[in-house]
Structure 1
Amino acid sequence: MTPGLPELLSRLPGDPAIVHPLIALAMAVTITLIASALARFASPRLRRRFRALGEALAGHMRPILHHAIAAALMAAALAFWPIGDFAHLILGAALALSLSLLAIHLLRSLAIPRLAVLPIAVLLFVMVLSGSSGGFAPVADMLDGVGIGLGKRRITLLGLVSMAATCVALFALVRLANRIVGRSITRAHGLDATQKLLAQKLAAITVIVAAFFIGVDLLSIDLTAFTVFSGALGLAVGFGLQKTFGNLIAGIILLMDRSIKPGDVIVVGDSFGWVNKIGVRAVSVITRDGKEHLIPNENLMTQEVENWSYSDRNVRVRIPVGVSFDSDLKLAQDLMLRAAQESPRVLRNPKPNVWLTAFGENRVEHDILVWISDPEGGVGNVKSDVLNRLWLLFREHGIAIPYPQRVIHSSIDRPRPQ
């Protein structure tokens, strides 16, 4: 019969009180090195295989994998080591440290604040260490003994710690699920940008609702106790949060009917710019001045909106030009057309055109009509480029641009000679 680990340890020479802890320490160091090597080998392969998960963990894939492997190997070693030995406590401390570091990297990769991460890591370390050294029951009884009574319920320190840990864990899971689902939808084929954004928002709402009910079940919260509170909340939503929920529904409708999409160039009142993103409450519109206007979603549903790229991204720009009556109109019109064609942002198809629109008081009015396909790059700079080129061409060919003139006739009564 093959001897077990206790028999093998009893046959080792030397004092067991010294040899066993040294062996346990050597095992902990060896397991850490093995876990580091395995994580270095497997991390890039897992990142390529599960790209969405790797991006969601924000560069913490390797340390998370390292501490997860170390914790699994430590748990296996701890299971075979005799209980009650000091070496067992060393392996338990190594396991607790690995799990705590794993929790820290997991939570920090999800942008959880340090003030919430460190207490969770310390609590996990104490729980695992106490469990490996005789059970968590004494610690739990101590935490449960500290509390106060509120009516028929008793609030204990153990309950508060459990609630805080559950809320942080659910919050981290919600963020992780949203990141994984969001990045998976982003790389999905067959969906345009608007459909992807709508799918991401619906998935985020679904994850939050599911996490809420899971949290209620884990914390054993009796929802019947919130009947009166839910009625008051309904009134608050009906009156105080009406605009907020109206903007939320309006944003979902905008994404569903695809009338406004990220990247569209829109004009709402005095705001002109391209849509950066459609949020839960407002649409972000960035102007050519670099200012970001946050327009409530409900305003886009009720007000008149000009969408320059709703069905076609091509936009026609009108550039008024006047020349003197003494100029060669055919030559001037050819030069206008040439200046438009030489501008880099002007499209060749549809081709530019020049219209004679009116005979003014002191000049012949023309409109240069050009088309651009990138209105988010601005309209004024296109006009400026065409007019600059036209100015040089007019000066080169002697075409005059008149300026307003006024002739004032006055009669002054002179004194008659005596």
Structure 2
Amino acid sequence: MDQDPASPGIAEQILALLGEGRDLAEMFLTPGWRQNQILIVLGLIVLAWLMRKLTAARVQDWTRDREGWPKYRLRMLVQIRHRLMLIYFVAGSWAVYAVMRQVTWPSRSYLVGIAATLATAWLVIAFVSRLVQNRSLRRLLTWGLWIYATLYALELTDDVVTFLGSVAFQMGDLRISMLSVLKAFLLVAALTTMARLLTQSATRNLQSNEDMSPSMRVLAIKAVQVTLYGIVVVTGIRALGFDLSGLALVSGAIGVGIGFGLQKVVSNLVSGIIILLDRSIKPGDVISLGDTFGWIDSLGARYVSVVTRDGKEYLIPNEDLITSQVVNWSYTNKLVRLDIDFGAAYGSDPHKVRAVAIEAAKSVNRVLSQPNPPVCHITGFGDSSVDYTLRFWITDPADGLSNIRGNVFLALWDAFQANDISIPFPQREVRHLNDPTRLAERPADG
């Protein structure tokens, strides 16, 4: 680590800070108004603790009775209930500070004002930090802001800033200090929170825009996320003092190496962008890819989530959807034609069989009667039956194909039973060539 020769050494600064802390402690322990203010603050803390004990149960019961409130209000009530003691202390300290300012000298209420200011800052930070969803990041941000608020209220920020600025390491012309790292961290944390809030707001607005297709909505959401979080990363790097223009050549060489190593990842990313642009596949479509049949739940940057009828969720790489043959059952429309084959006995009138089969198909709920009604055709004369094909249309392939075929077969069975139409089965005649009775009937050779 290097330090500026003109600035005092780290050891000297630490000793100076310890000396100021010792002087501050002696000042508080000396009898007088400073000590009285400390006792007042301690009394307010005890009073706030007693108030929390007396009212915590009532506040909890009142919170539980708030049925039908939005979730964000209920979360706010929970946070308030957890910080009742701090809220009571803030209210009490400001009230005491206001009274003391009126009845005595301002210097005799100075410490009470500092305590009230600190408590208020801690309370505000505790509520504002809830905007950060990541627990670890929220904890670091909360403690960092609390420490800064404490140093600011005690007027120790200049000394701490000087100390943090002196602790640094040198890399060529680049000097990175603990102060710059701390500033970069706080800046990135704040920008990340803002980016997340803006992304959520943009996502809600884009998803409710009916003028855009589902695939274009996903593409716009991804573009907003990449732009906002890209700004956060670049801003954090610049806050540390790095010159991004000097990294252009190095980043280009690194990019070539990474490109070979992450060829599949890049291919999936590009394929995902192509899918979003040409709108060949969008959320809600019913597709078949190999043995996978289901509907698209979401489009990701690397894969597509396909949910099947049995509840399984397949993550199919975007590249497979570009290079493989995909059946999109709902690309232009959701009309799907299904065929089922059956046979009827030769003794049954084929005209009647066709009419009964069509009416049976129409009786099933999901089968369309208009604009494409069911049709039935003779496809051949088999060994044991006349062969037929029944064709019908549906508009909800996502609800399953096997179940609708099964329902149509059941309807055919019931209709054939009601109209005396038999469904034959193959019959075979078996002869035993070595039957003794037949051998006895054969004439003798001669």
Cα shift readout 1:356-395 (whole Å, capped 9, x = no counterpart): 1111121111111111111111111000011112212222
Which residue in the other structure is 2:413 paired with? 391
Distance 2:195 2:257 in 1: 26
Whether contact under 8 Å (1:21, 1:90) holds in the other structure is no
SS at match of 1:262: coil
Q: Where do residues 289-308 of structure 1 align in structure 2 (5 Å cutoff)?
A: 289-308=310-329
1:89 paired with 2:111, answer no
> What is the rounded CA distance, in whole Å, between the counterparts of 2:317 and 2:256 in structure 1?
23
Paired residue secondary structure (2:242): coil
Matched, 1:273 2:297: no
Q: Aligned partners of 1:19 and 1:157: how far apart in 2?
A: 36
Q: 1:230 to 1:285 in 2, by over 3 A?
A: same
TM-score, normalised via structure 1 length: 0.77
Q: Distance in 2 between matches of 1:410 and 1:196?
A: 74
- 1:346 maps onto 2:367 in alignment: yes
1:98 alignment partner in structure 2: 123
- Deviation, 1:98, is 2.0
* CA distance in structure 2 between the aligned counterparts of 1:65 and 1:193, rounded to whole angstroms: 40
CA distance in 1, matches of 2:216, 2:386: 50
Unaligned 5+ segments in structure 2 are 1-32, 49-69
Tell me what 2:382 maps to.
360
Query: Is contact 2:344-2:421 (8 Å) kept?
Result: yes
Q: Which amino acid aligns with 1:119?
A: L
CA contact (8 A) 1:357 1:367 kept: yes
Query: 1:191-245 deviations in whole A, cap 9, x for unaligned?
Result: 2322222221222222122223333333332224434540332113321122222
1:123-148 CA-to-partner distances (Å, cap 9, x unmatched) read 10110121012141223334445555
SS of residue in 2 equivalent to 1:321: strand
Match of 1:85, SS state, is helix
For the Cα contact (< 8 Å) 1:25–1:91, is it kept in 2?
no
- Counterpart CA distance in 2 for 1:326 and 1:237 is 73
Q: Aligned pair 1:382/2:404, yes or no?
A: yes
**Cα contact 1:21–1:86 (8 A) shared by 2:** no
Amino acid paired to 1:122: W
SS in 1 for 2:128: helix
Q: Aligned-residue CA RMSD in angstroms?
A: 3.8
Q: Give the distance between the partners of 1:151 and 1:60, measured in 2 at CA.
A: 50
Offset from partner CA, 1:24-78 (integer Å, 9 cap, x none):
969xx9xxxxxxxxxxxxxxxxxxxxxxxx99x79757789999xx9xx99xx89
**Is 1:123 paired with 2:148?**
no
Mapped to 1, the partners of 2:75 and 2:217 lie a distance apart of 26
Q: Is the 8 A contact 1:194 1:261 kept in 2?
A: yes
How many residues of Structure 1 are paired with residues of Structure 2 in the alignment?
Answer: 375
> Which is greater in Rg?
2
* 1-structure distance, mates of 2:223, 2:378: 53
How high is the TM-score relative to the length of structure 2? 0.73
| Residues 25, 186 of structure 1: alpha-carbon distance in 2 compared, 3 angstrom cutoff | farther
Which residue pairs with 1:215 in the alignment? Answer: 236
Alpha-carbon distance in structure 1 between the residues aligned to 2:329 and 2:367:
16
1:184 correspondence with 2:205: yes
How far apart are the structure 2 equivalents of 1:185 and 1:246?
Answer: 26
Give distance in 1, aligned partners of 2:286 and 2:326: 10
Distance 1:203 1:60, change over 3 A: farther
State the alpha-carbon separation in 2 of the partners of residues 64 and 191 from structure 1: 39
Residue correspondence of structure 1 range 92-241 to structure 2 within 5 A: 92-107=117-132, 111-112=133-134, 114-146=135-167, 153=174, 155-241=176-262
